[in-house]
Structure formats: structure tokens, C-alpha cells
Structure 1
């Protein structure tokens, strides 16, 4: 299996946290991907028809083209990994996907759509350009250059940018402690935040808190769950388990038993 990342240059680095490439053979056929709090561009270089599945009954519920957009999720979603998996993508910074897509982030909440719905023929062109390249490095550079040409003026709200910085700087802070500094009504601020980021502030912070948990337990087998819960700002272990189930559809101990190579992947049985 190969997993590599690439740090884009400025000005793309203002909007894209990193580019990534995943290639593998004989991988588990299906995985549940946990929510990350931001949007991703995903381009399958092996298959151009990707099935979508319902998380809970695991029955196919549609499909997309190989080039697709994964909106900001607040629940896990299932992906299929074929025998010769080859996928490249861009991980956008929270609230920065608007430099490439005019659709409000909230409209893609828990949605995965074909890239051509937003970029028309450019989506096919991008995938074809990437298929023409033979090395990972060339594919990274091709994707980087393509995204650089796609950058457009972005509508950002200063209060949302301030909140994102505070949530990152003080990950266990209460949302109300930040919104009290902003001077907007809760309803107005929630709408601005959802338009730019894709989630409400409270839901965003819950997702980022889950991500903090995954980082702290990565690679560990012996875990003090009570310590993890309090370190990450949960009221108690019951609150922690409830939140974990809501996002991952499993308990923390079940996650450890089934987690994949990437901490956001839970391997599913066939």
C-alpha cells in the first residue's frame, strides 16, 4: 500500500491543507470514512463509476463519477476499494472550499456528488490529465496547477474566520464562549458559519473533537478511555461513547479493533 501527501505552494496553500494519493492491492473491500470537518476533492484513477452506500444498512443508494466532491460530513460514509485502488485527492482547509465552488457548504452537508455537477467538462479534463501522468509526483503537480487555475474570489465572513481560529487554538472551549465575543445573534452566526464551513459551529466542534481523539489514540492498543474523554473535553465517558457512536456508528473499543491504516478508516466485513 502507498499513501503519500504533498504540501501545495502559495497561494493554493491558503485554501488546500494538503494533496494526497492512495494506492493499494488486495485491500479490504469496504471502509467507513469518519467525518473530518472539511470538504475533499476525490478522484478515482481506476474506476469511473463509484457506488454509494447507506451507512446503517450498507445497501447501495446511488453512485457518482470517479471525480467527486465529498461535502462536509457529520456522519461516516462507506467507500469501496477495488483490487487495484488508485485515488488522488485534495483536502480543503475548513471553510476554504469556496475558492473553487460557489455552492454554499451547507448544501453539501453529508453529500457526495460528481465533480462534473459543479465543474462540468473540467471535471473530465482533470481526471484525463491525471491519468496521462505516470508518477505520483507528476500527478501532484498536475492537480496543484489545475487547482491554481480554478481559484476564484472567496466570500469569507471575518466572524467565521475568527471562530475557526479560536476553535483550533482552544479545542476544548465552548462554542458559546466564542460566540459571546462576536456580537451576533446565535441564529445569524450559525447560518454564516454553516454557509462557509458546511456545519453549524457546535457540530463542527464535535467533529473536530472526534478528530482529536483519533490523533491521540493513533497506533495505541492500551488506551485509558477516561483520560482521553476528559482531555478532549467530554463531560464523562458516557458522553464520549454517545458522541463516538453518533459519528462512527460503533463504540470506541470497536473502532480500535476495526480501524484501518488511516485513523479515519474503519474496515467493514463483507
Structure 2
């Protein structure tokens, strides 16, 4: 039995949190989930068995997954009972006392934050069987920490909007639009978002590629490259291999493309494996 559902945050938190993902499964056969750079940070609570990071061991029981620039694989076996908070690009930054750059390409155990309230939330989530109550606990935690956005947060948000809406924009133009010098802009952006402007631009461009392929399955790679801001199709293939581990052709032959960044609904690509890892 496998149950996966999406729940949405209250209006006051919707500018920070995209959705909550609840996954429950007691399947005997292993399920392999490919992870790719999503452009978003996750807060995850495991109430059952932890997922296994291929070649690296188990995920922490409760953790924050920072911005990732690499692909990977997760394997679940047995009793999975997980609640994940999926944030908008800057969504977590106002609520924790660290730079988002410290989370880059890492799964950070909640206990390592030495945050009394966050650890208290973790214990309550672990002890509470009802998912709806857990979501209310999570929302109460974040609403109690709401603060007004500062100037640099707003500058970073402005830059992200431009990256999303203008596929051809370059980093120097982004810096100029925020009235910051290039180095200062890069430092501010990385602190609030978790990766450099150039890296994040590439992740969003990749997610846009998935979204266009999702909605236009027969789209030629040359047209796809131009629409997404690549110099040419060879650069598209290069990024695709870096972010998925395979070429676009190989990727499309094994799964349906889907962008969790641009799509309105929030399905996840799951590949079932019939061979034990």
C-alpha cells in the first residue's frame, strides 16, 4: 500500500511554503526515487523508516535538505511515514538562524541546528499520529516566527522573479537591477538562497526544460534550448547530464518529464525498482 498526497499551506504562509508532501507506504519491494535539483529547500520529518541515500546510507530522521546542484537516488523499503515541507526558493530563510549557503548540497539533521523550538516541533511531530494535527503544529511554528522581510531579502526575491520570468537574463543584469555591485549581489543572493546566482539560474533553466518537455513532448532540442535560454542544444545536453546523470534522450525513454518548480500541481517522479539495492 502506498499513499501520497499534497496539502497546501494557509494563506499567510503560502508565500513561504509551496506545499506539504505526505508519503506513507508499507511496500515490501524497494521503491527508488530519483532526486534532481528542484530549486527549493525541504524540511522533512520521518515518522517511520528513514529513506536510504544510495551509496551514502540513511537520511537523518528529521532534516533540512538545502539547495542541491547534483542528482541522486533514494530507496525506501518497508514502513515509510514522512511529512515534507517544500519551501518556495526563499521560503526557509526568514525562519532559521543560519545562512542558506551552509545547507548547500547537504542533509542537515534538525538536532544540529541547536534550535530549541525546532527540536520541540520534531518531537511533537514524532509523537502525533494524525497528519492534520502535525500540519497545524508546523504552521503554528512558522507563524510564530514570521518577521518583516529586510531589504536584501527583497532584492534577492526580485532577482529570482527575473530569473523565472526572463530565461535569457545574465547575472550582471540581475546585479544592476538590485542596485548592488556584482560581488555584493552574489554574496547577498547566496546567503539568502543557498547557491550562487549563476548556479541557481542553471537549475531554474533546467526545471524550465522539464516543464516545456512535459507540455510539448515532441519539441525539438534546438527550439527547447532557445526557449530556455541555452546558447545551443549541446549546452542543454551538458546541463541535463549534470542534473540527471543521463542525456535528455535517455531520460525521456525511462520516465515522463515533470517540473516540480514550474508545474501547478506537485506530483513527483517515482521509479519502482524490482531489484533490491
Mark yes or no: TM-score above 0.5.
yes
Pair 99,216 (structure 1): closer, same or farther in 2 beyond 3 Å: same
After superposition, the Cα gap between the structure-2 partners of 1:263 and 1:13, relative to the gap in structure 1 and judged at 3 Å, is closer
CA distance in 2, matches of 1:226, 1:23: 41
Equivalent positions of 1:28-177 (< 5 A) are: 28-47=30-49, 51-53=52-54, 59-60=55-56, 63-120=58-115, 122-151=117-146, 155=150, 157=152, 158-177=154-173
Kept in 2: contact 1:259–1:267 (CA 8 A): no
Q: Report if aligned partners of 2:32, 2:270 keep a CA contact under 8 Å in 1.
A: no
Question: 2:6·2:21 contact (CA, 8 Å) conserved in 1?
Answer: yes
Deviations 1:194-240 (A, max 9, x none): 00111111111110111112222338765533332222121221110
Corresponding residue for residue 4 of structure 2? 3
The CA distance in 2 between the partners of 1:23 and 1:135, in whole Å, is 12
Question: 1:25: Cα distance to partner?
Answer: 4.2
- CA deviations 1:159-213 (Å, max 9, x no partner) are 2222122222323423333223333221111111000111111111110111112
SS at match of 1:91: strand
Residue of structure 2 in register with 1:256 after alignment: 252
Segment drifting more, 135-144 vs 220-229: 220-229
2:238 corresponding residue in structure 1: 242
Cα displacement (A) at 1:115 = 1.0
Q: Distance in 2 between matches of 1:145 and 1:18?
A: 15
**Which 4+ runs in 1 deviate beyond 6 A?**
266-269
CA contact (8 A) 1:37 1:72 kept: yes
CA 1:177–1:214: 2 relative to 1, 3 Å:
same
Give the aligned partner of residue 14 of structure 2: 13
**Distance change (3 Å), C-alpha of 1:169 and 1:84:** same
Q: In the alignment, is residue 181 of structure 1 matched against residue 161 of structure 2?
A: no
Equivalent pair of 1:258/1:267 in contact (CA under 8 Å): no
Q: Partners of 1:116 and 1:154 in 2: how far apart?
A: 26
Give the equivalent residue in structure 1 for 2:212: 216
Indicate if the aligned counterparts of 1:45 and 1:86 stay in contact, CA closer than 8 A: yes
**Length, aligned pairs only:** 263
Mean Cα displacement is larger for which, 196-205 or 224-233? 224-233
**TM-score, scaled to structure 1:** 0.83
Mapped to 2, the partners of 1:97 and 1:230 lie a distance apart of 32
Out of 76-85 and 184-193, give the one that drifted further: 76-85
